[in-house]
Structure 1
Amino acid sequence: MTLTRQARPDGGRVSPSPRLDIALGQASDRGRKDINQDFHGACLPAEPQLSTKGTVVALADGISSSAVSHIASQTAVAGFLEDYYCTPDAWSVRKSAQRVLAAINAWLHSQTRQGEYRHDADRGYVCTFSALIIKSATAYLFHVGDARIYRLRGHDLEQLTRDHRLRVSADTSYLARALGVGPHLEIDYLALPLERGDLFILATDGVHEHIDAPRLGSLISEHEEALQAAAEGIIEQALARGSDDNLTVQLLRIDELPAPTVLEHSRQLTELPPAPLLESRAVFDGYTIERELHASSRSHVYLATDNECGERVVLKVPSIDQRQDLASLEHLMLEEWVARRLHSPHVVRAAPARQRRYLYAVNEFIEGQTLHQWMLDNPLPELQRVRDIVGQIAQGLRAFHRLDMLHQDLRPQNIMLDHAGTVKIIDFGSVRVAGIDEIDGGAPQNPVPGTVQYAAPEYFLGLGGSPRSDLFSLGVIAYQMLTGTLPYGTEVAKASTRTAQLRLGYRSALQYRQDLPVWLDEVLKRAVHPDPSKRYAALSEFTFDLCQPGGARLATQRPSLLERNPVAVWQSVALLLSVALLLALSRIAGS
């Protein structure tokens, strides 16, 4: 049985160069059995899904001991092809596929548990599953069971998966892993770089147990330009060699690879000219420019009025120096791409989409002030107000993290407070998106994104970030709001080795604010720990502990005077030594 979705009827080929271009052939047969318990499918989407999610081929093989496993196979493949493309664009392939497969596995297992075969999984809703996802210049494999995925590169045929089958004897074996067997799924995952001409083969055991690798390669070579004929020939050959099982094979060849770009699906990068620098009162693309808000080497930001609806918006256009830099233009468009996918009252919104004649980004205008200005106006804020602001920032960050995004430039200048007291995160110029990184083909990233005073220590080691990196930045901001300074001063940026980071000395917040609870200092210290593994695991833990003592997790003893005020300690020591010296001198003089 088969399910195929194509962007257009083009004989199994999609997408002209320089985008991804593949050739596809697939065939299935019930063989000598009464029904075909195999199910296979493919989805060849149009843009933008071709770039953001990729092309998918998948097959499933039911087990002969079950009368309902053909339903499991169809559910697995059809459900995967449907639900994978419904996952957020920002999610990585691995996260998207594993989330979908976990849900399918749970559904299949529950159907067995609710049916007459709840005590015999081998007769329930169980099947093998193998999928290949081609996104940009990478192949992603997901596999459980005893079907196989091969790669033919030149004349070398390599098996990329392993069989999850245990053999008790020469004649007896059973599946060790499959979809629907248990409530939890363990699935093999592999990511491989692609080369033009790579050919992938997905085959059930009814095929690969009767055609060895050399014969498989020669059959494909005989039909090099007609993969559908090759797939049908492989089925015929396996039947002729005595296969008594269902037979399914899928062939996918990479004919062209895309040139990696951050926003490969965005026509605007190649079809629209960069917006010019703007003047006050100018009418531009349906907006009236009011004034310039900010200018930097990367961009110019303007306050404008949308002439269609009368709302005030913020326009960001590339600077003169960045107009020929494709990477900079990609990042500018990425900011709006990110804003359109985030839905949180604590993250700036993208303006409504409309037809444009130039390349620029548009977001909502927030009437208020930056957190940086608020901190200048409130040098000694109440603790509860700080907790409120930090909690709102954390809610905004969670919107990023749920979609596999990292902000990477969290700082007071990138946080706005409106007149109602609502906090919003702005400026997505350094945002890292897992799904977009895959399109980018692993291009080198700036090792220290954002502003060094708030960047997590791991960035200075050349390591990638994680949600705990954003948490570090939030911890620094919380500390700065309360104390007016930074927990490590400017030393973090100088610590570019593990050893140097271990020597970083946390400055107790109690040195600057004696009115703060002792346990609160421990909360801040943990949030900004140089080692990511020793920070809070989740933003919710940090904001929870920020509001009350953390029980056994935190020290209950008041820190020593040396920790709270080392200057006072050493001044006292110096005074005692001076007194002792004077007494000693007076005794010598008296004698």
Structure 2
Amino acid sequence: MARRTSIEVSIGFSSHCGARLDNQDFAAADLGSEEERALQGVLVALADGVGGSKGGRIAAELAVQNFFDGYRSQNPLGSVASAATKTMDGFNRWLNAQARTPTMKGAATTFTGVVLRGREALVLHIGDSRAWHLRGAALALLTEDHVSISSDDRAVLLRALGLEPVLRLDFIRQSLDDHDRLLLTSDGVHGVLTQQEIARLLCARKSSQADADAITAAALAAGSQDNVTALVVDFIALPSVDFDALAAEMDSLALLPPPEEGETIDGYRLEHLLSDAAYARIFVARDRENRIVLKFPKTMLLSEDGARLAFLREGFLGRQVESPYVGRTLALPEGSQSRLYIAMPFYAGESLETKISEEQVPLRDAVAIALKLSRGVASLHRRGIAHRDIKPGNVILTSDGGLKLIDLGIARVPNFKELPEKEVPGTASYMAPELFKGELGDAISDQFSLGVTIYRLFTGHYPYGETAPFTTPLFGPPIPASQYRPEMPARLEAAIMKAISLRRDDRFADVEELIYQLETGMLNVLPPRNAVPLLRRNPVLFWKSISALLIAVVIVEFLLMR
């Protein structure tokens, strides 16, 4: 069965003015695209504009929309709490300033927003709207009301968006299981319904929409004098694996010396050694049915902590990144591993390093390979991932014409624990100059490594010369690629040389721009795609040409008859 990578929910929403003339509540959900759900999760929020203020409804609606738009624009692999805080802090300052203007005087709003990512809900809360969590028949209140009761028994808001220039959000985390329910309510609902009454309505377990309607109907029947709003979320399915679960699994595995060819590990016979590198030993392995690749750590150069971090990183990212040009990792049956290693699909083919060493790759073939590799790198960068060891040895050219970029063990991801500085590996001949000065690596330094790899793909040489391991290269002027391949189009050469510029600022803004330049630089190399016949492109010219040809034939025949 395929592994689920994104959350699946059903959402019901119900809101009524009640005894009020207008509705200052606003609630919504943002499901996002499939990729956004996998990386950033599902967003739901409810805001209740402060009654009596001119801009209460406007404040509530803008708060929810700002939360959705701002959070989606943040780094998808960054901290959820940090991304949410940055998003709402700016809005709070803006609303606080607007509340002092005539058109929005006194505007403020409560806000309860939830990020549903992985198997966890992160609640952001300020004011007296509420978030509830139902598991089985047990209903838990997740939030705390920020109110004070006045002498005449009125609830006075102590905290709300726009009420103060400095934002004070509460953050509440709640683990999620399949079939849990989440509920957001405005105070028009929970002000008249007890927790027991809300639990009874949620435990009806009808559709999310039917139960949201039932909750607001019950609040109105109980005499609510305020707007009433309920948003119900049913969790249909949650991601199969999360980072914490994988980390706990890997921490429990023994770290042993790497095995030898011919051994059997957990039912997999190690058929032959694929690679014996400094940090890992890789085998093609087979059980009764499948052929896969197993990668075992070597601790001669990495500490135990470094080895676990690298394998956790590669195992997790290999399950998260969906790209036809990035290699995957496999989830083995739970409890089947006796030691630390990761499993990967077996990709029949050869490494790009092998192909470069055996032949000069024809320009047209090199063009296709460069584009596939660049698109694989771009797919990582879109997720905030820097590979940090792009080189021909980490690229597999599959026998079906595909390409896989592998080895994410030292990839840099925001908010992942970093390897100890002395253990951050890389391959000197492909590393950008800034990495030798202590920088940790990012998309721009990745672009340099990609550029050197593409340079070698076309020329078979290194632009700055080959560098021995654990040494710092002497960066001089690069050798123009056309010196090795005179037939290379000038625009194509210019794109490659820009990517390997020694100054970061002289490289492309991102790999997507490099891809565009490679494509346009290759127009003289690749044959036109699906050339359109002249009859379709210019039918008048076609028939004129046919007519001229027929006239010429008639004239020739006439002359021959004379």
Match of 2:404, SS state, is strand
Alignment of structure 1 residues 242-257 onto 2, 5 Å:
252=170
Q: 1:444 to 1:60 in 2, by over 3 A?
A: farther
Shift in Å, 1:246 = 8.7
1:535 equivalent to 2:502? Answer: no
2:54 corresponds, among 56, 65, 81, to: 65
Provide structure 2 residue ranges, at least 5 long, that are not aligned to the other structure. 1-19, 29-38, 111-122, 130-140, 162-167, 174-241, 524-562
Equivalent runs, 1:157-556 vs 2, <5 Å: 164-166=96-98, 174=105, 203=126, 235-236=147-148, 252=170, 265=245, 266-274=247-255, 277-307=258-288, 310-319=289-298, 321=300, 325-355=304-334, 356-358=336-338, 359-378=340-359, 380-434=360-414, 438-440=415-417, 445=421, 449-490=425-466, 504-549=476-521
Distance in 2 of aligned mates of 1:314 and 1:89? 32
The amino acid of 1:392's aligned partner reads K
**How far apart are the structure 2 equivalents of 1:519 and 1:549?**
5
Q: CA deviation at 1:322?
A: 7.3
Measured in 2, the distance between the counterparts of 1:290 and 1:71 equals 63
Deviations 1:66-95 (A, max 9, x none): 575587389559x869x97x999961137x
SS in 2 for 1:524: helix
Contact kept? 1:60, 1:74, Cα under 8 Å: yes
Q: CA deviation at 1:489?
A: 2.1
- Label 1:363 to 1:177 Cα distance change in 2 as closer, same or farther (>3 A): farther
Distance in 2 (CA, whole Å) between partners of 1:167 and 1:460 is: 51
Gap change, CA 1:375 and 1:539, over 3 Å in 2:
same
* CA deviation vs aligned residue, 1:138-172 (integer Å, no higher than 9, x gap): xx6732444xxxxxxxxxxxxxx786415768x88
Q: Following the alignment from structure 2 to structure 1, what is the Cα–Cα distance between the partners of residues 328 and 517?
A: 30
- 2:79 maps to what in 1? 93
Q: Deviations over 1:234-283 (max 9, x none)?
A: 6225777998669659875999xxxxxx9655112332223553344433
TM-score (norm 1): 0.54
Residues 1:450 and 1:391: Cα distance change in structure 2 (over 3 Å): same
Would you say 1:142 and 2:88 are equivalent positions? Answer: yes
Q: What's the offset of the Cα at 1:368?
A: 1.6
Please give the per-residue CA displacement for 1:20-39, whole angstroms capped at 9, x wherever unaligned. Answer: xxxxxxxxxxxxx9999578
Are residues 321 and 35 of structure 1, via their aligned partners in 2, closer, same or farther at CA, if it must alter by over 3 Å?
farther
- State the AA in 2 paired with 1:330: L
CA distance in 2, matches of 1:493, 1:239: 76
Match of 2:539?
none
Matches within 5 A, 1:46-125: 60=47, 62=49, 64-65=53-54, 68-69=57-58, 72=61, 91-93=77-79
CA contact 2:306–2:420 (8 Å) conserved in 1: no
Secondary structure, aligned partner of 2:355: helix
Q: Which moved more, 1:382-391 or 1:523-532?
A: 523-532
1:406-430 Cα deviation digits (max 9, x unpaired): 1110111111112223221111122
Offset at 1:367? Answer: 1.6
- Percent identical among aligned pairs is 25
What SS does structure 1 have at the residue aligned with 2:250?
helix
CA-atom RMSD, angstroms? Answer: 5.1
CA distance in 1 between partners of 2:436 and 2:54 (Å): 57
1:316-372 deviations in whole A, cap 9, x for unaligned?
122254796122112112212111112222222223431223221000112221111
Compute the TM-score of the two structures, normalised by the length of structure 2: 0.57
> In the alignment, is the contact (CA less than 8 A) between 2:25 and 2:48 conserved in 1?
yes
Question: How many pairs align?
Answer: 394
Q: CA deviation at 1:230?
A: 12
Q: Which residue of 2 aligns with 1:7?
A: none
